Amino acid sequence: MATLRKLAVPILFLVTMLASLTLGRFGAYLVHSVAIAAIGALGLNLLTGFCGQISFAQGALLGVGAYTAGNLGNAGWGIWAIVGAGVASAMTSLAIGLPALRLRGLYYAIATLAAQFILEYLFKILEPITNGISGLLIQPLKLFGRPVVGDQALAVLSLALLLAAYSFLRWLMKTNVGRAMLIVRENELVAKGMGIDVARTKIWAFVTSGFITGVAGAMIGFTTRLANPEAFQLSLSVDQVAMIIVGGQGTWAGPFLGAAFVVLLPEAIQRTGEAFDIARLLFALRDMAFGLLIILFLLFEPRGLSALLRRLVRWVSSLLPSTRTSVLTVKSHPSPPGDPNE
Amino acid sequence: MNRTVRSALLAALLCIASPAIAADTINVCVWGTITGPDALVNGMSYGTHDYFTYLNQNKGGIAGFKVNSLLLDGRYKLDEELKIYRRCVDQENAVFINGWSTGAAKALRETVTQDGVPFISETFSSEVVDPVKYPYVFVAGPTYEQQMLVGLRAAKAAGAKKVVLMHGDNEYGRGPVTVVRKSGEIEKMGLELVDAIEFKYDAQDLTAQLLRVKSKKPDVIYIQSSTPQTLVILRDAAKVGLPPTKFIGNMYNISPTIPQQLGAAAEGFRAIQIYADYGADIPAMKEILTFKAKNEVAKQDVYYMKGWLEGKVMAAGIENAIKKNGGKVPADLKAFRKSIRDETEALKNLDVGGITPPLTFANHQGSTQARMAKVKNGHYVSVGSWIDAR
Amino acid sequence: MTFYLQIVTAGLATGSVYALIALGIVLIYKCSGVVNFAQGGYAMLGAYVTYALTRLGLSPILALVASVAVMAVTGAATEFLLLRRMLKAPVVAVMMVTLGLLILFKAFCLAIWGPDQIAFPQLFPVGSVEMGGILVTYNYIAAAALSLLLSVGFLAFYRYTPMGLMQRCAADNGRAALAIGIHVSNQVSVAWAMSSALAGLGGSLLATLNSLSLGLSSIGLVAFPVIVLGGLNSLMGSLVAGLLLGVLEAVTDGVLTPALETYLRSHTAIYSVGALQQVVPYLLVGLMLMVRPQGIFGERGTERV
């Protein structure tokens, strides 16, 4: 039983990877869109969900990742371009976070808002690096000397990176640094009283979250093959924040569920509209549903979709006679030491 | 009542369940900004989509085959547009795709070529027009750069010496201005470029910028921006005492909104005209009125005319490809797409019902002709004759 | 000299509207510690309501008054239906709710009035006067005057009326206010109503200047630098900072950018610095947060929420 639990997540990933190989291009595109958004959301969730710092600069940080990966990839760095992108975003995240170390909550949020706008401006102005407004054209990512172009291959790669990011974060939250983050989120004074170096803990959060975001940004670059300033605006930051809220802040399943929800909702509404031949009416409804759901979740279920899922699983398993636990239960019931759900 | 609802639901369910692609229909895909920052000019997408509906209703489709046209909303967001492109190619089996933004056209120009799908875009960017490098990409008119040169040439002919360029800080704004500025074409014309001013693409107040323009004492100011910002420019120009007669905009500024909202502050404003205006006395307008008798026309403006024209170009390419195959829709999708591309490129002196002079598509942009239109008594009137922009 | 006078005049005109919008945000923050991201949304909604009412046949001024009333009710309703349920929620969650509201309002206006720019009814007579060598339309004079009048009026209301006293009391110390018999929740409702009414008025004024579109809601983002510079809990601060920022933007556009570009063009390969005006306020915000997080007029200690 215990081994099954441990293996459930990798098995789930493996199945998704194999399944995405059989999908058409459109389906595979959706898979890598969701996977990449989930990597970004995992990064943000570390900062916001586990360390209590809300950030509106996520869109710009993804941009830093995409531009760095694009430049390095075009220069022939191969897979190292992704690592480089992570490092660049981590440094940027640190540069935003350091001066804001003594700011809390609201003021930190406004500081990141300022950072978002300043970075957007830099994307447009630093022509030698970003190619300005017309955008940086990015060569396909080269893995072992072969270009990765198909959406199916990109989906598999994105899923692999998502699994890596997830596993790393699971490990991190079990270390002392991870536990310190949770205490800082709850109360900085208490953390200080316990002898935790608050500043250093926050710096860890900024760097780690930035690195993971940079990896997501790199994959955005390699899938769209064009990094331009219009793609990394504030609305992308808002989307990312919405993902962790709808999914469930500070939960493990949250970023996955939130990313899937935010990326797939417009498509679902669009298809429904077409099926009933009212697509033109529904064009506006898409955003309305988005706004309304954010409000409703925050009002009635602050733990988001992951709490709903948990309830659903509990309800289903109460219907089942035996003690068999489904794979889903395992995924939605992670309880390592230091888990914020406890 | 209840029974009607139930049977309607059942019918809808059956529609979802049954595969949408029936034999012998022609699938095309149109995406535009239905909702989003540049929705003002989305008549282009409605026009193309409506033209196919018109063909189905009045001409029995193309060469006897119904056209299945899908209109989608790209929201002027790159990821959304890339997603839609994949849907059109992969799921809808579109034989011709009509896309929207400059960004998407640039991001997709190589993919389109690899996929071998005929692709016509609303952009006029010179970076996607290349019959050799991007054989599957088409546009429907002179590039932004060519439009700018036509406007400046007309100003030069009227005795202008000093030029100021104004543009937004997006791809559509900065791109063409940089190309023209670096090419040295302005100086070759005998004009002096005294300043180029960039502003936020959704700026709501440009008084200070126009004071800067005024201090340079230009004879002509060329605007490369969307209509909402052209409105702001002309409004604030009136505020600082710059007459509208000094301003020239490109084909996206020929919107009736400008004289409607500005009144006297727009009198004498000039814009580039490529397509006949909605309501002009031309054969294509008669078709549109026939369509309007049974359907709703979402946007009654010059952009709708552009869309209608693109529909005609796509339909002509498709029709010729079917003719070549002995009047049948080719069974092989790939071959059909290739054949449509070849036939579109081979279009010669295609009559487009007077929206533009007859079109030849060997250059992948059809018309390269433009002329000036001027606001007079609240309406655009054409001035001068067609000038070839090349 | 005239040139600089012109620049300042233009800056003051836009700055006064910034101040009006920022004032509304500060009003709510003072009273309930909530930062309202949806302020731009209320401004936009107010403008659309004014437009809709004139379409129904109301005279423009009457429509404006009615729309302000509608927005006041909307604001109070927001507080009653949403915010009151979130008293114990973290600041961040409340912030996100207002962000959700902004998205909702935009979608609502999109669904009803469509994505295109609409000509806004003339609220004020057409025409202009020359001020400092610049033609200032009556629209601008009226918008600026009304904004300033209202801002000053609010400061006075807050300081000198019993209602203002209760508001200040509730804002200052909720528990103490409760103890002396002030219904704090109702005071918060009143603050929301006033704030939304201000936003609605500001939005309508802005629409007379810039015509009506969904883009109007972005005024809410412009207001953020204003409130940080002025101090989140200072009404006076938002007024001063609003005007200051308006002038600063105009100076950036009219003086700083051209000077910088002239220098760069003659000494480097860089031709343009782009829309510098959009980032200058945020650079200032970054600086301010580092040096004096409570803002020019703010009181110490508010940065720790």
Q: Residue A339: helix, strand or coil by DSSP?
A: coil
Candidate from B16, B87, B175 with C-beta closest to A133: B175
Asked whether the predicted pLDDT for residue B21 surpasses 90, the reply is no
Neighbour subunits, A (≥3 Cβ pairs < 8 A):
B, C
User: Which of A3-17, B285-299, C259-273 has the lowest average pLDDT?
Assistant: A3-17
Amino acid at A1: M
Range(s) of the domain holding residue C205: 2-216
The confidence score (pLDDT) of residue A342 equals: 32
Chain B positions touching chain A (beta carbons under 8 Å) = 12, 15-16, 34-35, 71-73, 77-80, 82-83, 86-87, 89-91, 103, 106-107, 110-111, 127, 169-171, 173-175
CB atoms within 10 A of CB B132: 6
Task: Give the DSSP letter string of A61-129.
Answer: HHHHHHHHHHHHHHTT-TTHHHHHHHHHHHHHHHHHHTTTTT--HHHHHHHHHHHHHHHHHHHHH-HHH
Share of chain C above pLDDT 70, in %: 96
Q: Considering chain B, what is the average pLDDT of its residues? A: 89
The confidence score (pLDDT) of residue A284 equals: 73
Candidate from B205, B227, B238 with C-beta closest to C14: B205
The confidence score (pLDDT) of residue A233 equals: 92
The Cα B105–Cα B124 span in angstroms is: 10
Architecture (CATH level 2) of domain B144-273+370-388:
3-Layer(aba) Sandwich (3.40)
Does residue C106 lie within any of the structural domains?
yes
Q: Considering chain C, what is the average pLDDT of its residues? A: 87
- Please indicate if any CB of chain C lies within 8 Å of the CB of B206: yes
The Cα A214–Cα A238 span in angstroms is: 17
Given an 8 Å threshold on Cβ–Cβ distance, is B200 in contact with C250? no
Asked whether the predicted pLDDT for residue B18 surpasses 60, the reply is no
Closest CA–CA distance from residue A276 to any residue of chain B (Å): 6
C303 close to C294: Cβ distance less than 8 angstroms: yes
What CATH class does B2-142+280-359 carry? alpha beta
Q: What is the band of A331 on the pLDDT scale with cuts at 50, 70, 90? A: very low
Residue spans per domain, chain B: 2-142+280-359, 144-273+370-388
Chain center to CA of C111: 24
Contacts of residue B127 in chain A, CB cutoff 8 Å? 134
Given an 8 Å threshold on Cβ–Cβ distance, is C135 in contact with B199? no
The confidence score (pLDDT) of residue A5 equals: 67
Rounded to 5°, the CA angle A2-A6-A8 comes to 110
The confidence score (pLDDT) of residue B3 equals: 45
Structure confidence by residue, pLDDT tens digits, C225-247: 999 999 888 888 999 999 999 99
Query: Which phi and psi (to 5°) does residue C212 adopt?
Result: -95, 125
Candidate from C218, C254, C271 with C-beta closest to B208: C254
Structure confidence by residue, pLDDT tens digits, C205-228: 888 877 788 888 988 888 889 999
Q: What is the band of C151 on the pLDDT scale with cuts at 50, 70, 90? A: confident
- Please indicate if any CB of chain B lies within 8 Å of the CB of A148: no
Chain B residue closest to C139 (CA)? B239
B230 close to C22: Cβ distance less than 8 angstroms: no
Residues paired with residue A146 on neighbouring β-strands, in sequence order: A143
Burial of A100 (0-12, 13-18, 19+ CB in 10 A): buried
Structure tokens at B215: 């201090």
Of residues A87, A54, A65, the one with CA closest to residue A231 = A65
The DSSP symbol for B351 reads: -
Structure confidence by residue, pLDDT tens digits, B44-73: 999 999 999 999 999 999 999 999 999 999
Chain C residue closest to B36 (CA)? C115
Asked whether the predicted pLDDT for residue A120 surpasses 70, the reply is yes
B246 close to B353: Cβ distance less than 8 angstroms: no
Average pLDDT over residues C259-279: 89
How many domains are there within chain C?
Answer: 1
Amino acid at C51: Y
The Cα C13–Cα C141 span in angstroms is: 7
B390 or B257, which is more confident? Answer: B257
The residues, ordered by sequence, that sit 6+ positions from B21 with a Cβ below 8 Å of its Cβ are B27, B68, B93
The confidence score (pLDDT) of residue A4 equals: 66
The confidence score (pLDDT) of residue B242 equals: 93
Average pLDDT over residues B122-142: 92
Asked whether the predicted pLDDT for residue A75 surpasses 80, the reply is yes
Average pLDDT over residues A84-100: 94
Longest dimension (CA), chain A: 65
Task: Give the DSSP letter string of B260-286.
Answer: HHHGGGGTT-EEEE-SPPTT-SSHHHH
Q: What is the band of C101 on the pLDDT scale with cuts at 50, 70, 90? A: very high
Residues paired with residue B270 on neighbouring β-strands, in sequence order: B248, B374
Contacts of residue B77 in chain A, CB cutoff 8 Å? 231
Structure confidence by residue, pLDDT tens digits, A23-60: 889 999 999 999 999 999 999 999 988 888 889 999 99
Same fold, B2-142+280-359 and B144-273+370-388: yes
Under 8 Å CB pairs connecting chains A and C tally to 120
Does residue C256 lie within any of the structural domains?
no
User: Which of B245-249, B295-299, C11-15, C163-167 has the lowest average pLDDT?
Assistant: C163-167
